[in-house]
Amino acid sequence: MKLRLPKLFGFALLTLGVVTLVNPNVSLRLLSLAPEATTGGLKLLVVKVEFLDAVHRDSDDSKVAKWLLCLNNYYQANSYGRMWWDLTVLPNWYRLLKNIDSYGPSPFVGETGFCADVLTLITHDVAVSGFTKAVFLYSGEGTHSYVGWKETVQTGGVSLSIAIVSIWLTNWPWTLEHECGHLLSLDDIYIGNKKVWWDGMGGGYTTDGNATTFSSFNKLRLGWLDGESIRTMTTTGPTSIQLSALGLSSGTRVIKISVPKPVPGDPDRYYLVEVREPIGTDQNAFPSTQGLPGVFVLSVGLDGTNSPRWVSPRTQQNAECVEDISSFQTGEGFQCPYFSMTVVSKTGSTYSLAINIFSATVTLVITTTSPSTVIITSTSLSTVVSTTVLTTTTGGHTTTLTQTATSIQTSLQILTVSLSTTTGTVIISGKVVTTTATLTKTTPPLTVPSNISWILIAAGLFLLFFL
pLDDT of residue 6: 60
Angle at 390 between CA 386 and CA 393, to 5 degrees: 175
pLDDT below 70 — which residues of the chain? 1-37, 106-111, 142-145, 261-266, 287-290, 304, 360-457, 460, 462-467
- HEC secondary structure over 104-139: CCCCCCHHHCHHHHHHHHHCCCCCHHHCCEEEEEEC
pLDDT of residue 432: 32
Question: Quick check: helix, strand or coil at residue 403?
Answer: strand
pLDDT of residue 195: 80
pLDDT of residue 290: 63
- Residue 341 CA to residue 328 CA, distance in Å, equals 10
Please state whether the predicted TM-score (pTM) of the whole model is above 0.75.
Answer: no
Q: Where are the domains of the chain?
A: 40-185, 216-357, 361-441
User: Please, are residues 167 and 126 in contact by the beta-carbon 8 Å criterion?
Assistant: no
pLDDT of residue 68: 96
**Chain-centroid distance, C-alpha 272:** 14
- Residue 292 CA to residue 276 CA, distance in Å, equals 9
- Residue 209 CA to residue 71 CA, distance in Å, equals 11
CATH architecture type of domain 40-185: 3-Layer(aba) Sandwich (3.40)
Q: What is the pLDDT of residues 394-405, one digit of tens each?
A: 444 434 433 333
Q: Write the single-letter amino acid at 92.
A: N
Backbone angles phi, psi at 351, to 5 degrees: -115, 140
Burial track 246-258 (b if 16+ CB lie within 10 A, e otherwise): bbbeeebbbbbbb
Angle at 53 between CA 49 and CA 55, to 5 degrees: 45
pLDDT of residue 419: 38
- Residue 335 CA to residue 104 CA, distance in Å, equals 50
Q: What is the pLDDT of residues 147-156, one digit of tens each?
A: 888 888 888 7
- Residue 137 CA to residue 295 CA, distance in Å, equals 37
